[in-house]
Amino acid sequence: MGVYAVAICLFFSLSVVLCLRIPNLSSDIEKDTILLSVCHPGNQPNPSTLRSDQLTVLINGYSESRIPLLQSIAASYSASPVVSSVLVLWGNPSTSPLTLSQLAYNLSVSSWGNAAISLVPQPSSSLNARFLPRSSIGTRAVLVCDDDVEVDLKTVEFAFRMWKGNPDRLIGIFVRSHDIDMTRKEWIYTVHPNKYSIVLTKFMMMKREYLFKYSCGGGSPMHEMRKMVDEMRNCEDILMNFVVAEETNTGPLMVGVERARDWGDPRNEDSDGDGLRLVRDVGLSSRKAEHWKRRGKCITEFHRVFGRMPLRYSYGKLVSSVGEQGLCKKGSNLVLCDH
């Protein structure tokens, strides 16, 4: 991982001095120290003090070029009455302290509602950090999301209602599947038209307890898999799906959306000039075909360490309206009977 990390660092920071902060053995020790403290039972809030009527939004940020978009997404979530607070987890250790303090200020004044928006700089770029069970999370539910997807608030509220009815499940909007390649005898990462087993962190709602299970539970096998996530700089979302499926023996739940704008999807056409391409291509996971292969490799590795395949398929999606679907003749047309 060393070589890859240094390449990223040079690319983003242009400063060799800042590269000393790139993860290596000593920062592994730093990560273990953070875990020891976060995972200490005394540092976990008493479950009875956690709010159930609201959730905490955790947005991952990394690319400085995406800051304006990140800020507008954070502001949008802050306007929802079901959002208690928005934490922007900044995972780029080479961002300058000046930019960080400006960003922290800009975010703090950009809330549109009662939910405060705060910046939480991460000591490393570890993707595992997005799942730390931070003491600042004072709600039973969390919404983990990316800095390039904006979901309308009606959908957020609908997803939260669905979570309340199914608090042990992972709830999402963007889904994928695992499958097996019989000829090569390995797992692949794919999309099925009618079923799914993986929810992406573009929008992932779940109970706070799963953050603890992911970060603090599972003994040395989980330690090994969190380390793989660090080495591959990818697949933390897949690992969370494994953790939850292992616990519940069921698949995730997909909710239908009113409107979800995805700036990170490679199928975006670059009609706005270079700005869009910049947003799309700076994502750490946007290397297309290679990306899908690496995700398949993660599934294969996690399966090996778990010793079984916990992922389960789910079918169908939850919809927020159950209007009459029958057709009636009105005038000379067949229209929905409700019309």
- Please count the CA atoms within 13 angstroms of the CA of 302 that sit on its side-chain side: 31
**Span between the terminal Cα atoms of the chain, in Å:** 60
Q: Is the CB of 179 or the CB of 230 nearer to ligand NAG?
A: 230
Task: Read off the tokens for 182.
Answer: 């019989």
CA distance 257 to 151: 8
* Closest distance to ligand NAG from the beta carbon of 231 (Å): 14
Q: Is 277 helix (H, G, I), strand (E, B) or coil?
A: helix
Greatest alpha-carbon pair distance for the chain in Å reads 76
The Cα–Cα gap between 253 and 198 comes to 9
Smallest distance from the beta carbon of 93 to ligand NAG, in angstroms? 12
Q: How far is the CB of 25 from ligand NAG (least distance, A)?
A: 5
Give 330's contacts (C-beta < 8 A, 6+ positions apart). Answer: 339
Closer residue to ligand NAG, CB minimum distance, 99 or 136:
99
Nearer to ligand NAG, 26 or 48 (CB): 26
Shortest distance, position 84 Cβ to ligand NAG, whole Å: 23
Nearer to ligand NAG, 17 or 25 (CB): 25
Residue 296 and residue 184 in contact, taking contact as beta carbons nearer than 8 Å: no
- Whichever of 67 and 239 has its CB closer to ligand NAG, that residue is 67
Amino acid at 62: Y
Strand partners, 203: 145
Q: Which residue has the tokens 């159950």?
A: 322
Going across the sheet that includes 171-172, the strands are 116-121, 83-90, 51-61, 139-145, 203-207, 171-172, 253-254
Q: Is the CB of 15 or the CB of 135 nearer to ligand NAG? A: 15
Q: Is 118 helix (H, G, I), strand (E, B) or coil?
A: strand
- Whole-number minimum distance, CB 251 to ligand NAG, in Å? 39
Nearest approach in angstroms of CB 165 to ligand NAG is 38
* Active-site position among 147, 179, 237, 262: 237
Give me the least distance between CB of 147 and ligand NAG, in Å please.
13
Render the burial of 167-204: b for 16+ CB within 10 Å, e for the rest: eebbbbbbbbbbbeeeeeeebbbeeeeebbbbbbbbbb
Q: 181 catalytic, yes or no?
A: no
Give the interface with ligand NAG as residue ranges (CB under 6 A): 20, 24-26, 67, 99, 102-103, 106
At 318, which helix (H) or strand (E)?
none
What contacts 211, CB < 8 A, 6 or more positions away? Answer: 131, 132, 133, 137, 142
Would you say 6 or 305 has its CB closer to ligand NAG? Answer: 6
* Tokens linked to 283: 């994502």
Active centre residues (catalytic): 237
